[in-house]
Structure 1
Amino acid sequence: MDIPELKAFISVSDLGSFSKAAHALHISQPAISRRIQSLEQSLQQKLFDRDGQKIHLTPAGTLLKPKARDILAMVASTAETIKSIGDDIQGPLKLAISHHIAEHYLAPILSVFKETYPKVELIFKFVESEQGCTHITNGTMDIGFVTLPSEEMDKLVAQPMIKESLVLVAHKSHELAAIDSPHELMTRLPSTLTLLPPLSSFTGQQISTALNEMMITPKETIECNAFASLKALVVSGMGWGILPENLLSPELVSLFPGTQIQREIGIVHHTVRELSPAAKAFIALSQKIHRASDGYGFA
């Protein structure tokens, strides 16, 4: 089992075709077939089944795929680390990040990082936090700047950076905004349209837990990935919602002043793969700025 064989295996598995894999790797189809055959012989297991024109992983192939990704990612990361010894920090750094986190927290880090490490090529993938963690697990991105889940993630190390407060809000003209009694508000909220992030997301799971603790069970909800879009819906008066405190504006009122839902934002990386010097530098700089801000957002 060697690196070219593993690359051939991953390419065939991802593309579902020997010919497409050969084209992607710039080698002939017979060469791809020989590499797969050699890999199967060394493992003494069949890795692919054919169903007409379709190719499927066998149980052995399914087991091998994530491990093969880990091996290839570790080899690539090690090569970058070795190349950087004795040199300035350079090379690519692939960062998975959500739009909200990029908009509100990335700029202070990025401006200093680009000035300090001009030879690093930053490659961004803007995704939801859950997808970002999947990219880190699969080795397609180096680090993620994401909302952290409540529980530990398999194969990932999480480094908390920012505590972000979420608040229950409505437009100042909404009927809920005129209610002074907390008890009456608690009674009215469940029957009023609720605007939330997807409850299956890391943030949504934390919101769901908090609402359960407050004994609020919305009967009708609209879920949206983008906080900016949720804010627009709340501002339109459609219903009440939960937004980051840094998105509040004069036309919005907090329904329960002093009541906040806390979520943590931070950096994640793989537990096993060696971090490149560029990734280590980005994390160290983020931690430095985080400490200077006391963990409640970057100034």
Structure 2
Amino acid sequence: MEINQLQAFDMVTRQGSFSKAARALDISQPAISLRIRALEEAVGGVLFVRGGTRLELTELGTSFLPYARQALSALATGTEIVRQTKQGARGRVSLATLPAMTTGFVSSAIARFNASYPQVDLNIHTNHSDQILEMLYDDLVKLGLLNWPLFSPISLTPLLHFREPLVVVAHPAHPLAQRESLTSLDVVREGNPYWQVDWETETQSWHTHLIGAEQALTSLPIHTAHDLVVHGIGVALLARPLVTDDLAVGRLVELPVQDLPAFARESALVCLSRERQHLSNATRNFIDVLREEGRMFLYPE
């Protein structure tokens, strides 16, 4: 049984004659007759009552018709899904990222991608770097968003490289927010308190240099420090994408620290090197959206 036989059967039923069905399908009448005859042989009986001005279905034909149309409908649906999958409008995108990288332009990229490609399954996981590498290697995810550079036992290819400046922020009512100029030492000693967020080796060295042995220091996760500062408690060194919206609406202000080094968080969207040429179109579309949303922080290779 072939698809063109089912199509001929459906069209003859709709048109009521072999000749009209042949014209509708743009084939010859003998060709459509051969298709119907072959279909009748396949189902084991006559499908049409011959004779009269209009063909009528036999009991066998009436019973078979809904299943033939169901098969044609399923084929049409499958063909359309394949077309959409090739275009990236359907499929699956899987990303594993560090918890600290789920906000800012990453979250806006997720929202934009979901709105643009509602038929794509989007799976975002958070984990530590070692676990993300394992997920990539075990093919549980296709993409990883990690601190960069990263020394990995597996071969990774960076697809996008981001460099997000770190800025010192405080609530607008914080005493330091009223000052026109500050030094790094002012921030650490008068932050009341200064929340330490360990971004990388350079910032850790900076903290160690500024903070004397007599001064206690609290080291916090990024989002905890952010939450405290938004609520007017202390100051912190945070990545600009994390606080962009807060600065825009006045929930936070950037402190004018004159001697602050040009610290930045560097990250990269990566995939296994062996997988780069095999990424789905849906995954490539997600990469394009993430590139566009994070364009302010893209680091040229």
TM-score using structure 2 length:
0.51
Q: Is the 8 A contact 1:189 1:216 kept in 2?
A: yes
Structure 2 gaps, min length 5: 1-81
SS at match of 1:272: helix
User: Counterparts of 1:161 and 1:290 in 2: how far apart (Å)?
Assistant: 13
User: Counterparts of 2:172 and 2:140 in 1: how far apart (Å)?
Assistant: 45
Q: CA deviation at 1:242?
A: 1.0
Q: Is the 8 A contact 2:160 2:291 kept in 1?
A: no
Cα RMSD over matched residues?
A: 4.1
Which AA in structure 1 matches 2:226?
A: K
Change (3 A) 1:280 1:175: closer
Q: CA deviation at 1:113?
A: 4.3
Larger radius of gyration: 2
Deviations 1:174-220 (A, max 9, x none): 4545666755x5267258643133x3xxx3445325546xx323743
Q: CA deviation at 1:139?
A: 3.6
User: Counterparts of 1:120 and 1:145 in 2: how far apart (Å)?
Assistant: 20
Change (3 A) 1:223 1:280: same
Q: CA deviation at 1:161?
A: 3.8
The residue that corresponds to 1:186 in the other structure is: 185
Which AA in structure 2 matches 1:268?
A: V
The residue that corresponds to 2:152 in the other structure is: 153
- Aligned residue pairs total 204
Change (3 A) 1:115 1:179: closer
Q: Is the 8 A contact 1:100 1:226 kept in 2?
A: yes
The residue that corresponds to 1:122 in the other structure is: 122
The residue that corresponds to 2:265 in the other structure is: 263
The residue that corresponds to 2:217 in the other structure is: 221
Percent sequence identity over aligned pairs: 16
Change (3 A) 1:123 1:210: same
Q: Is the 8 A contact 2:182 2:255 kept in 1?
A: no
The residue that corresponds to 2:225 in the other structure is: 230
Change (3 A) 1:279 1:130: farther
Which AA in structure 2 matches 1:216?
A: L
Q: How does 1:1-299 map to 2 (within 5 A)?
A: 88=86, 89=88, 90-98=90-98, 101-106=101-106, 109-110=109-110, 113-114=113-114, 120-127=120-127, 131-146=131-146, 148-155=147-154, 156-177=156-177, 182=182, 186=185, 189=188, 193-197=193-197, 199=198, 203-205=199-201, 207-211=203-207, 215-217=209-211, 219-227=215-223, 229-246=224-241, 247=243, 248-249=246-247, 250=250, 251-256=252-257, 259=260, 260-273=262-275, 275-278=278-281, 280-282=283-285, 284-286=287-289, 289=292, 293-295=295-297
Deviations 1:211-270 (A, max 9, x none): 46xx3237433333342x312322445433112234144354415158442122331112
The residue that corresponds to 2:29 in the other structure is: none
Change (3 A) 1:245 1:273: closer
User: Counterparts of 1:294 and 1:253 in 2: how far apart (Å)?
Assistant: 18
Change (3 A) 1:127 1:196: farther
SS at match of 2:264: strand
User: Counterparts of 2:179 and 2:149 in 1: how far apart (Å)?
Assistant: 33
User: Counterparts of 2:236 and 2:84 in 1: how far apart (Å)?
Assistant: 52
The residue that corresponds to 1:5 in the other structure is: none
Q: CA deviation at 1:143?
A: 0.7
